[in-house]
Structure 1
Amino acid sequence: MRATAGACRCGQRSARVHGRYVRRLRDVAVGGLGVVIELCVRRFRCENPDCTAVTFAEQIAGLTTPHSRYSPLLRGVLTRVGLALAGRAGVRLAAAAGITVGKDTLLRLVRALPDPEIGEVEVLGVDDFAFRKGRHYGTVLIDMATHRPLHLYDGREGEDLTAWLRGHPEVKVICRDRSGGYAEGARVGAPQAEQVADRYHLWANLGQAVEKSVNAHRSRLSEPVPATDGNSDALEAEPEEVQPSTELKIVTRLREQHAAAHELWEKGMSKAAIGRKLGLHQATVRKLVNARSADEVVAKSLQRAHIVDPYVGHLHRRWNEGVRNAAQLYREIQQLGYPGGELAVQRHLRRYRTGRGHAPVPGPKPPSVREVTSWIMTHPEHLRDEDADKLHRLRKRDPELDRLTLHVRKFAAMMTGRHGDRLEDWITNAEQDTLTPLAGFARNLRRDFDAVRNGLSLPHSSGAVEGNINRLKMLKRQMFGRASLDLLRKRVLLAR
């Protein structure tokens, strides 16, 4: 029987059979069992004298490819498994389906895939991601029309973005965060494009400024505890004069030393002589003489924080509940992180036992800085009634926090209503306010004014970019230590 002609890589067809051999191809599993296809393949001799190939093997369309041990169907399945799960996880899934494959083979199949076609991009999204947070970063570019990743490269310098944009002059809008490197790269590489600052980052930066402002007023967050004595008529009457408690020995001693030092100083004695006369160190004498009143010396001496102070609230509550055992109270605050010893707790409780003071009934716990920040940053209609009432009382007590809330709500209305034309007025008002963190945020907006105004006016947003960043982080962590740039890039661009 005459052999059917085969085609060499040079394009020359040949009917001269050189030999035959058995070729084995692995195919997709059937019923959980691996499948191997055995083919009797002919090898032809190339009759083209100019061709470098002497012989060539015939190929069966749809079943064989040169030098491959997998059928196209199995190769496609393994490639999709590698894209979805990478190495080790892909091996486990393939084994469950009856396919034996190594992790390196899966990764090699992924790396061999060609990059997708980019096409024309009118709206581009740019953001960075961390290979190692705080040390090593990369950049991802997103087509905002299709939400598809276009490119991924190492670093977050503006020069790389400039080079990519010069090859894509069709870009009209660039959505980015407020990074100066991306801003400069977009300006140089695509001067025709409008830059849009992401509203998510604007709101996040505003939240940081609000938190700093609230933290500066944290001493005013607690509500005043109303004085009650159990009699409703007494609430309307003048409060009784509070009798002073027994003065501490250290306070009495400081007052006596302050009076004696000033008396000797007025007589013309030097500080060194006063120290020798009173038996005090010269630094102590200097502190006493420089103080205008004894109360000033007492306040400075008593304001030093004690190691027990962070746990006084717990000690007050337990003391009022009837717990008087110092060892038990020490063990309780030790579990809360108290780093000191039991003796300090005993000394703190001694004033309660000796009648020189008693643990007061603790008032309501003041809201934390983050809680107040959350109340200010939340839409009034979405606040719980209890939180809205607390915020209302807080704004009445503190005019600065009231102005801070008004600034935030004006910015929110400007952002959600796309009123970028109000940005200049808002920045001016914030800069003129006494709220230093908010004024700093406003000045920072002025440095990137055009992009911020576009972000507050145009419908474009970087939401699709943030979604792809989250997906990229998942892929990176899935590959553990094998997330090199080339492999990560293939999976980000091709795994959908």
Structure 2
Amino acid sequence: MLAKLGFGMGAEQAATNSHVLHISTSPDAILRLMKTQPLPNTWTPRVLGVDDWAIRKGQTYGTILIDLERHQVIDVLKDRSTAVLRDWLKAHPGIEIVTRDRASDYSRAVTEAAPKALQVADRWHLLCNISGLVREWILRERTKWKEVISTVKTELREPESSNKIGRKTGEGRRQQYQEVMLLGKAGGTYKEIAAQTGIPYATVRWWLRGDGSPDDRSPLSESHRDKIKACWTAGIDSSLEILRQLKEMGYTGSVDPVRRLLYHLDLEQGLQGRSVPARPRAHRRDFNTTALTRLLTMPKSFLADKDQRFVNLVCAGDREIAAGYALIQRFRNMFLNLTVDNKVNLQSWLSEAARSTVVELRQFAASVERDFGAVSAALTLHWSNAQTEGQVNKLKLIKRRHFGRASFELLRRCVLLA
């Protein structure tokens, strides 16, 4: 290996070998080598997956074609226009099913070149579309949403249950732990135990999985407090430095109690600006636009009880929000069970969405109406573009391996010969 790199050679020989090494690893040399390899013959698949990929992001795009039954790349095209895909489809007649995103160029190409093929829209893109319209709706009427949510937050501050145990420390926390473990052995689910005991769902899951217990993180003992006060008196106000010294004493807790005690010590001496209290945990109902969009587009059965109550209160606060949310949930629930009945359900949904007072829902319904065949097929068949997206990701990895300098022909050969 050292000899190949030029070590232990004369200057002339080393220079020659260096030139050969440079040529042998250049993209042109690799392309010449790849060109000597015969490409596999293209074939006509029964189920074709079509998607675009970026040759130069934001500038030029190509098209990748996948045999979804064989899980193989058939071909890579240099453009994503209607004409390029149409010509390829005409050269490969007999395709029965085509899965694609909702791009109009691909839709026209399949309609013109393979009119008998069944087009299937990708479900992931449909879910992205419904999430996008909800986000636009919230942003357009942000004032109304803020008013409704502020009212809901006021109602949620009231205790939800009179028998709720709440947060405990020390022996009380250990009793809660024992109760959770007994309920878990009796066959209770995380959700049932959390509702029965009032302990947060995440804590119940943490304990029952055996990931920890109340004794794993001991509170500040008197010796720990004395150590913190001694450090504070000595002028050490770094909570992380004090935490390091506490851990040498066997402390297993977090830095938050240390910061809290330092803050109160400063308050007693009128030094409020020297330290800050432990960062308060954000309230779960301080939703931003992204979180609110997720709650409105997620099926009700997937939401926690508190989140369901929040959504119900928001819908109760405004009639238009309630009607729009009902339509969103009806469309979203069709993805949970792919049956032939969804075609009739989709027709009924479109007629109601077209009369909605929410502008974004009417626009989305109009776009689905124009692509009704592909969308209804997506809600009745199991085929989707998920596998095609995976092949696009593989193509991106090949691009990165060549540092983005490979030509289209080199990339195409690397993908087809992979």
TM-score after normalising by structure 2 = 0.59
Q: Following the alignment from structure 2 to structure 1, what is the Cα–Cα distance between the partners of residues 127 and 283? A: 34
CA deviation profile, 1:97-133 (whole Å, cap 9, x unmatched): xxx9634444432343222122331111111111233
For residue 415 of structure 2, give the secondary structure of its aligned residue in structure 1: helix
8 Å CA contact retained: 1:372, 1:391:
no
8 Å CA contact retained: 2:46, 2:94:
yes
Name the residue aligned to 1:426. 349
CA deviation profile, 1:278-317 (whole Å, cap 9, x unmatched): xxxxxxxxxxxxxxxxxxxxxxxxxxxxxxxxxxxxxxxx
2:408 is equivalent to residue 488 of structure 1: no
2:366 is equivalent to residue 443 of structure 1: yes
Name the residue aligned to 2:312. 392
Name the residue aligned to 1:341. none
Name the residue aligned to 1:144. 68
Higher relative contact order (CA 8 A, sep 6+): 2
8 Å CA contact retained: 1:142, 1:149:
yes
8 Å CA contact retained: 1:126, 1:142:
yes
Counterpart amino acid of 1:164? W
Q: Following the alignment from structure 1 to structure 2, what is the Cα–Cα distance between the partners of residues 109 and 478? A: 17
Q: Following the alignment from structure 2 to structure 1, what is the Cα–Cα distance between the partners of residues 352 and 311? A: 22
CA deviation profile, 1:337-357 (whole Å, cap 9, x unmatched): xxxxxxxxxxxxxxxxxxxxx
Name the residue aligned to 1:221. 149
- 1:155 is displaced (CA, Å) by 1.6
8 Å CA contact retained: 2:43, 2:74:
no
For residue 415 of structure 1, give the secondary structure of its aligned residue in structure 2: coil
Counterpart amino acid of 2:314? L
For residue 61 of structure 2, give the secondary structure of its aligned residue in structure 1: strand
Q: Tell me which of 70, 92, 117 is aligned to 1:193.
A: 117
8 Å CA contact retained: 1:111, 1:486:
no
Q: Following the alignment from structure 2 to structure 1, what is the Cα–Cα distance between the partners of residues 44 and 55? A: 29
- 1:221 is displaced (CA, Å) by 2.6
Counterpart amino acid of 1:156? R
2:396 is equivalent to residue 473 of structure 1: yes
1:124-135 matches, cutoff 5 A? 124-135=48-59
Q: Tell me which of 159, 162, 174 is aligned to 2:98.
A: 174
For residue 154 of structure 2, give the secondary structure of its aligned residue in structure 1: coil
Counterpart amino acid of 2:104? G
CA deviation profile, 1:227-286 (whole Å, cap 9, x unmatched): 99xxxxxxxxxxxxxxxxxxxxxxxxxxxxxxxxxxxxxxxxxxxxxxxxxxxxxxxxxx
Q: Following the alignment from structure 1 to structure 2, what is the Cα–Cα distance between the partners of residues 161 and 149? A: 15
Q: Following the alignment from structure 2 to structure 1, what is the Cα–Cα distance between the partners of residues 361 and 155? A: 33
Q: Tell me which of 280, 286, 293 is aligned to 1:373.
A: 293
8 Å CA contact retained: 1:130, 1:138:
yes
CA change 1:366–1:118 in 2 (3 A) is same
Name the residue aligned to 1:85. none
Q: Following the alignment from structure 2 to structure 1, what is the Cα–Cα distance between the partners of residues 358 and 136? A: 10
8 Å CA contact retained: 1:225, 1:363:
no
For residue 115 of structure 1, give the secondary structure of its aligned residue in structure 2: coil
For residue 146 of structure 1, give the secondary structure of its aligned residue in structure 2: coil
Q: Following the alignment from structure 2 to structure 1, what is the Cα–Cα distance between the partners of residues 293 and 155? A: 25
CA deviation profile, 1:30-51 (whole Å, cap 9, x unmatched): xx999xxxxxxxxxxxxxxxxx
Q: Following the alignment from structure 2 to structure 1, what is the Cα–Cα distance between the partners of residues 404 and 388? A: 24
Q: Following the alignment from structure 1 to structure 2, what is the Cα–Cα distance between the partners of residues 152 and 132? A: 15
- 1:436 is displaced (CA, Å) by 0.9
8 Å CA contact retained: 1:165, 1:190:
yes
Identity of aligned residues (%): 32
Q: Tell me which of 298, 317, 324 is aligned to 1:404.
A: 324
1:3-402 matches, cutoff 5 A? 102-104=25-27, 105-215=29-139, 216-217=141-142, 218-219=145-146, 220-222=148-150, 223=152, 225=154, 366-402=286-322
For residue 39 of structure 2, give the secondary structure of its aligned residue in structure 1: coil
CA deviation profile, 1:9-44 (whole Å, cap 9, x unmatched): xxxxxxxxxxxxxxxxxxxx9xx999xxxxxxxxxx
For residue 195 of structure 1, give the secondary structure of its aligned residue in structure 2: strand
Name the residue aligned to 1:458. 381
8 Å CA contact retained: 1:110, 1:490:
yes
Counterpart amino acid of 2:335? M
CA change 1:226–1:197 in 2 (3 A) is closer
Q: Following the alignment from structure 1 to structure 2, what is the Cα–Cα distance between the partners of residues 224 and 440? A: 31
8 Å CA contact retained: 1:210, 1:404:
no
Q: Following the alignment from structure 1 to structure 2, what is the Cα–Cα distance between the partners of residues 173 and 115? A: 25
Counterpart amino acid of 1:153? L
8 Å CA contact retained: 2:324, 2:356:
no
Structure 1, gaps ≥5 residues long: 1-28, 35-90, 92-99, 229-321, 323-327, 333-361
Name the residue aligned to 1:415. 335
Q: Following the alignment from structure 1 to structure 2, what is the Cα–Cα distance between the partners of residues 226 and 424? A: 38
- 1:190 is displaced (CA, Å) by 1.0
Considering only CA atoms, is the larger Rg found in Structure 1 or Structure 2?
A: 1
Q: Following the alignment from structure 1 to structure 2, what is the Cα–Cα distance between the partners of residues 451 and 363? A: 42
- 1:225 is displaced (CA, Å) by 3.4
8 Å CA contact retained: 2:43, 2:92:
no
Q: Following the alignment from structure 1 to structure 2, what is the Cα–Cα distance between the partners of residues 184 and 421? A: 25
Counterpart amino acid of 2:306? E
CA deviation profile, 1:369-403 (whole Å, cap 9, x unmatched): 11111112222232233323322222222332222
The RMSD of aligned alpha carbons is: 3.4
- 1:192 is displaced (CA, Å) by 1.8
8 Å CA contact retained: 1:207, 1:373:
yes
Counterpart amino acid of 1:120? T
8 Å CA contact retained: 2:299, 2:333:
no
- 1:467 is displaced (CA, Å) by 1.0
Q: Following the alignment from structure 1 to structure 2, what is the Cα–Cα distance between the partners of residues 129 and 452? A: 22
Counterpart amino acid of 2:25? G
Counterpart amino acid of 2:308? A
8 Å CA contact retained: 1:120, 1:168:
yes
> More helix by proportion, 1 or 2?
2
8 Å CA contact retained: 1:209, 1:437:
yes
